[in-house]
Amino acid sequence: MGNEGSYVTLGLKTWNAQIDRADKLFGGLSSEEILREIAPGRNRLLYLWGYLTAVHDAMLLLLSGERLHPEFDVAFVSNPDKSRADIPSHEQVRRAWNAVNAELRKGFEKLSWSDWVQRHSAVSEEDFAKDASRNRFAILLSRTNHLSYHLGQAVLGRK
Amino acid sequence: MGNEGSYVTLGLKTWNAQIDRADKLFGGLSSEEILREIAPGRNRLLYLWGYLTAVHDAMLLLLSGERLHPEFDVAFVSNPDKSRADIPSHEQVRRAWNAVNAELRKGFEKLSWSDWVQRHSAVSEEDFAKDASRNRFAILLSRTNHLSYHLGQAVLGRK
């Protein structure tokens, strides 16, 4: 295996490890536990899970695909927690989280090594010419860290 | 620039971004603020900062170097927060954090691209033959995520 493949494999391994962690953490919560706050006065676990789902859903655009749940943005991105009564239910968030991450995994597996260092669809050709680090691998690394950041918070709400 | 270089550059860029974030977050705390807990009954910010310093200090072994602050382990790794009175002070943690991360940055810059996919000094040749993903780049990615995880917690203690 050439070195390029090793880097991509390691990047995906780290991503998958964090997804597995999130699956266990959020997936194991009861319908009461999911309504707990991560700390007094902070976001509830349901909001955080929905928010991560929305952010990952937007990653489907990296694969030139279409989003599965753009409607999550109103509930979990553009508005703060507890500001709206009509947000997706625990079960809807669970299904969307699983569907979005399964779709990402499928798409990631289809990419060739060189696809990872190509520009993603949210960057113009002009901007990419100026800064070639705005590629898919960069997004993978930053979104993996984004997930870790919020997992560190979610774990505080669990117990 | 070949693709191998792009991956390493992106990995280091993500690492440096999290270090900068930690510098700003922890470095900006007063001597009172550093004693706040991240959530009621949880670790104090000082303990978390010392703990991250110890974990990063151990990363110097990846560079076949020597640790600068092995004594941090007793205070911040093998014992929980608030169990010992004689832990390093705010100022000692600040100095150690800066020294350790500067040393890592210097070491990382000296590595060639192929050094990143070589086994690190904590893995035996035999184990590396079985699993070539146990290399320096893997550690870089996992420690970056480790830092992000705890930054997500530290930010809750700040306000």
Q: Which residues contact B108 (CB under 8 A, 6 or more apart)?
A: B12, B15, B63, B140
Structure tokens belonging to residue B12: 């280091």
**Has residue B29 got a pLDDT over 60?**
yes
Q: Could you count the other beta carbons within 10 Å of the beta carbon of residue A9?
A: 15
Q: Mean pLDDT score of chain B, rounded to an integer?
A: 94
Q: Report how far apart, in Å, the C-alpha atoms of B150 and of each of A68, A97, B5, B51 are.
A: 30, 23, 29, 10
- Of the candidates A4, A39, A142, the beta carbon closest to that of B3 is on A4
| B6 contacts A137? CB cut-off 8 A | yes
Question: pLDDT higher for A4 or A59?
Answer: A59
Cβ pairs A/B, distance under 8 A: 104
Residue A132 is predicted with a pLDDT of 85
Inter-residue contact A46 to A90 (CB < 8 Å): yes
Q: Report how far apart, in Å, the C-alpha atoms of A47 and of each of A16, A51, A55, A101, B103 are.
A: 22, 6, 12, 17, 39
Q: Is the dihedral of CA A87, A31, A149, B8 positive or negative?
A: negative
Closest CA to A11 of B82, B138, B147: B138
Q: How far is B141 from chain A (nearest CA, A)?
A: 7
Say which residue the tokens 């880097």 belong to: A7
* For residues A36-43, average pLDDT: 96
Structure tokens belonging to residue A23: 């699956």
* B8 contacts in chain A (CB < 8 Å): 7
- Residue A63's pLDDT band, with cuts at 50, 70 and 90, is confident
Q: Report how far apart, in Å, the C-alpha atoms of B135 and of each of A116, A123, B55, B125, B150 are.
A: 20, 32, 17, 11, 23
Residues B1-22 as b or e (16 or more Cβ within 10 Å = b)? eebbebbbebbbebbeebbebb
Tens of pLDDT along A69-86? 999 999 999 999 999 989
Residues of A contacting chain B (CB within 8 angstroms): 1, 3-4, 6-11, 13-14, 17-18, 38-40, 42, 113-114, 117, 132-133, 135, 137-138, 141-142, 144-146, 148-153, 156
Residue B18 is predicted with a pLDDT of 98
Residue B133 is predicted with a pLDDT of 85
- Residue A5's pLDDT band, with cuts at 50, 70 and 90, is confident
Residue B2 is predicted with a pLDDT of 59
Tens of pLDDT along B146-157? 999 999 999 999
Residue A2 is predicted with a pLDDT of 59
Tens of pLDDT along B90-140? 999 999 999 999 999 999 999 998 899 988 877 889 998 888 888 999 999
Q: Report how far apart, in Å, the C-alpha atoms of B121 and of each of B60, B65, B115, B125 are.
A: 10, 10, 12, 9
In total, chain B counts a number of residues equal to 159
Structure tokens belonging to residue B60: 């110097």
| A7 contacts B137? CB cut-off 8 A | yes
* A40 contacts in chain B (CB < 8 Å): 39-40
* A144 contacts in chain B (CB < 8 Å): 141, 145
| B9 contacts A4? CB cut-off 8 A | no
Inter-residue contact B153 to A152 (CB < 8 Å): yes
Tens of pLDDT along A82-136? 999 899 999 999 999 999 999 999 999 999 988 999 888 778 899 988 888 889 9
Tens of pLDDT along B59-78? 999 887 899 999 999 999 99
* For residues B27-56, average pLDDT: 97
**Has residue A34 got a pLDDT over 90?**
yes
Q: How far is B117 from chain A (nearest CA, A)?
A: 7
- Residue A1's pLDDT band, with cuts at 50, 70 and 90, is very low
Which residue out of A21, A141, A159 would a mutagenesis test of the B interface target, given it has the greatest number of B Cβ atoms within 10 Å?
A: A141
Q: Could you count the other beta carbons within 10 Å of the beta carbon of residue B69?
A: 23
Percent of chain A with pLDDT over 90: 79
Residue B1 is predicted with a pLDDT of 44
Closest CA to A137 of A14, A55, A1: A14
Q: At residue A46, what is the residue type?
A: L
Q: How far is A41 from chain B (nearest CA, A)?
A: 11
Inter-residue contact B36 to A36 (CB < 8 Å): no
Among all residues of chain B, which has the CA nearest to that of A16? B142
> Cα(B129)–Cα(B139) distance, rounded to whole angstroms?
17
Q: How far is B14 from chain A (nearest CA, A)?
A: 7
